[in-house]
């Protein structure tokens, strides 16, 4: 019953995380587009009112005019009806952290720890999980304060920092957890930017406008810097959110490097669209991103199995390996703690069920995605047997 309820909690948190994330990213993308697309006001009266840029757009059967007042309206009160884009960010982070706790902390022995990488205790693994998230934000924030005005240098160091964290986590946690925690660290940085800098800065500016004072430009400069960072983190974080469905990426022996290349491709793609909003996009950016992604397709391609040297592998032999290493979870009634039912409904108790699901079994075993965290200790020799068996089936 406990595993069943945890599954429901997992589902509901994941759904909330997804919905809130869509709202946050949608708002972020919209305002980046808006800010990049602003043009000089067409009317002199608007300039006199304090309008520093405007955008005309068509949507939903109507025409909209958006205007930006950098220092607030001149000689007129600021509207009381201000929309604040913050709860999307906070809800995304809180639901994501809840999901981290449910999946990776409660299921630490299955999803967080891989004894082949590092034989950690549950407490130690959770400490690393929390520590990298907190330390990532602290170090990032210190860098931003120390390198104020050196944007290119700062961006380069942040990229190296993320790559170093990815490498380090691959030496400590399971590959799947390593990916997830890079994303959790970046997502925490994004939400903390909103909570500690962007929203407080905006509140300070609004308060000065309402008091009739000339707003201090410092909070706006800092907020803009953090907003820019957030928009470039977005595509890498989105990739990490879906990566657990594609073990060919994180289960590779150099999975951390694969992640770095894919994240870099995401940054280049985002940069292209940011430039495009301003009317000066460079096609070289998505071209380089495509090369990076295609290079990963080639790099991750599975190696052919030499069936001539592996000998004939019977389904009965493979069934024995599956029974020993996989059926604790993939059974009609799993015996592995934490599993109320077979993952993805995949039952592998009979030779017929194993043969029917041969492609899924061979793919996940070869990629080292399964068994989860290698809880049952499947050996490389056993994985080679499963690969040879599947190769033989393909030739029949």
DSSP for 263-295, written as a single string? HHHHHHHHHHHHHHHHT---THHHHHHHHHHHH
* pLDDT confidence bin for 254, thresholds 50/70/90: very high
What's residue 363's pLDDT? 80
Residue 192 maps to a domain: yes
For 344-379, write each residue's pLDDT tens digit.
788 898 889 888 888 888 888 877 777 876 777 788
Q: How far apart are CA 300 and CA 339, in angstroms?
A: 30
b (16+ CB within 10 A) / e for 310-335: eeebebeebbebbeebbbbbbbeebe
What's residue 51's pLDDT? 95
**Domain range for residue 289?**
2-33+85-299
Three-class secondary structure assignment of 133-202:
HHHHHHHHHHHHHHCCCCHHHHHHHHHHHHHHHHHHHHCCCCHHHHHHHHHHHHHHHHHHHHHHHHHHHH
What's residue 260's pLDDT? 96
pLDDT of residue 309 exceeding 60, the answer is: no
Average pLDDT of span 150-176? 95
* pLDDT confidence bin for 307, thresholds 50/70/90: low
Residue 292 maps to a domain: yes
Q: How far apart are CA 263 and CA 236, in angstroms?
A: 5
User: Do 312 and 292 belong to one domain?
Assistant: no
* pLDDT confidence bin for 303, thresholds 50/70/90: confident
Domain end position, chosen among 247, 267, 299: 299
Domain end position, chosen among 268, 299, 330: 299
User: Do 312 and 290 belong to one domain?
Assistant: no
For 256-283, write each residue's pLDDT tens digit.
999 999 999 999 999 999 898 887 889 9
* pLDDT confidence bin for 141, thresholds 50/70/90: very high
What's residue 386's pLDDT? 87
Residue 42 maps to a domain: no
Instruction: Report residue 21 CA to chain centroid gap.
Output: 11
Instruction: Report residue 70 CA to chain centroid gap.
Output: 33
What's residue 129's pLDDT? 97
What's residue 281's pLDDT? 86
Number of domains in the chain: 2
Percent of residues, the chain, with pLDDT higher than 70: 97
As a whole number, the mean pLDDT across the chain is 90
Q: How far apart are CA 165 and CA 283, in angstroms?
A: 30
Residue 74 maps to a domain: no
Instruction: Report residue 299 CA to chain centroid gap.
Output: 21
pLDDT of residue 215 exceeding 90, the answer is: no
Residue 284 maps to a domain: yes
Q: How far apart are CA 168 and CA 181, in angstroms?
A: 11
User: Do 132 and 197 belong to one domain?
Assistant: yes
Residue 75 maps to a domain: no
What's residue 101's pLDDT? 95
Average pLDDT of span 174-185? 95
Which one-letter DSSP state was computed for residue 80?
Answer: S
The most distant pair of C-alpha atoms in the chain lies apart, rounded to whole Å, by 87
User: Do 193 and 246 belong to one domain?
Assistant: yes
Domain end position, chosen among 299, 333, 355: 299
Q: How far apart are CA 187 and CA 239, in angstroms?
A: 12
272: its two tokens: 């292209």
What's residue 174's pLDDT? 92
What's residue 304's pLDDT? 66
What's residue 388's pLDDT? 86
Which one-letter DSSP state was computed for residue 330?
Answer: S
Average pLDDT of span 113-129? 93
pLDDT of residue 11 exceeding 60, the answer is: yes
Average pLDDT of span 382-388? 86
Average pLDDT of span 98-122? 91
User: Do 268 and 314 belong to one domain?
Assistant: no
Residue 165 maps to a domain: yes
pLDDT of residue 45 exceeding 80, the answer is: yes
């Amino acid at each position: 019953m406990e595993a069943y309820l945890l599954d429901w909690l997992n589902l509901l948190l994941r759904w909330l995380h997804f919905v809130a994330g869509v709202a946050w990213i949608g708002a972020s993308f919209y305002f980046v587009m808006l800010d990049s697309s602003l043009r000089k006001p067409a009317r002199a009266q608007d300039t006199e009112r304090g309008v520093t840029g405007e955008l005309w757009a068509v949507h939903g059967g109507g025409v909209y005019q958006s205007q930006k007042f950098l220092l607030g309206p001149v000689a007129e009160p600021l509207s009381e009806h201000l929309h604040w884009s913050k709860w999307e960010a906070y809800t995304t982070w809180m639901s994501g952290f809840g999901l981290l706790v449910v999946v990776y902390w409660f299921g630490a022995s299955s999803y967080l720890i891989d004894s082949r990488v590092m034989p950690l205790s549950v407490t130690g693994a959770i400490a690393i999980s929390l520590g990298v998230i907190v330390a990532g934000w602290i170090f990032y924030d210190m860098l931003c304060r120390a390198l104020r005005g050196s944007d290119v240098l700062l961006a380069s160091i942040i990229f190296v920092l993320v790559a170093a964290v990815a490498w380090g986590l691959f030496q400590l946690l399971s590959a799947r957890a390593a990916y997830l925690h890079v994303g959790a660290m970046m997502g925490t940085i994004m939400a903390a930017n909103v909570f500690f800098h962007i929203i407080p800065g905006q509140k300070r500016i609004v308060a000065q406008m309402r008091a009739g004072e000339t707003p201090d430009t410092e909070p706006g400069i800092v907020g803009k810097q953090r907003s820019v960072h957030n928009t470039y983190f977005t595509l890498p974080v989105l990739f990490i959110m879906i990566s657990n469905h594609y073990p060919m990426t994180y289960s590779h022996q150099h999975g951390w490097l694969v992640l770095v290349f894919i994240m870099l491709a995401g940054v280049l793609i985002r940069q292209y669209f940011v430039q495009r909003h301003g009317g000066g996009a460079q096609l070289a950016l998505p071209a380089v991103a495509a090369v990076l992604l295609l290079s990963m397709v080639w790099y991750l391609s599975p190696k052919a199995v030499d069936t001539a040297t592996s000998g004939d592998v019977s389904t009965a032999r493979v069934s024995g390996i599956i029974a020993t290493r996989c059926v604790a979870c993939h059974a009609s009634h799993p015996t592995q703690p934490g599993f109320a039912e077979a993952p993805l409904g995949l039952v592998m108790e009979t030779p017929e069920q194993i043969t029917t699901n041969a492609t899924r079994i061979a793919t996940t075993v070869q990629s080292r995605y399964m068994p989860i965290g290698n809880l049952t200790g499947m050996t490389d020799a056993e994985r080679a047997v499963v690969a040879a068996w599947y190769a033989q089936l393909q030739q029949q």
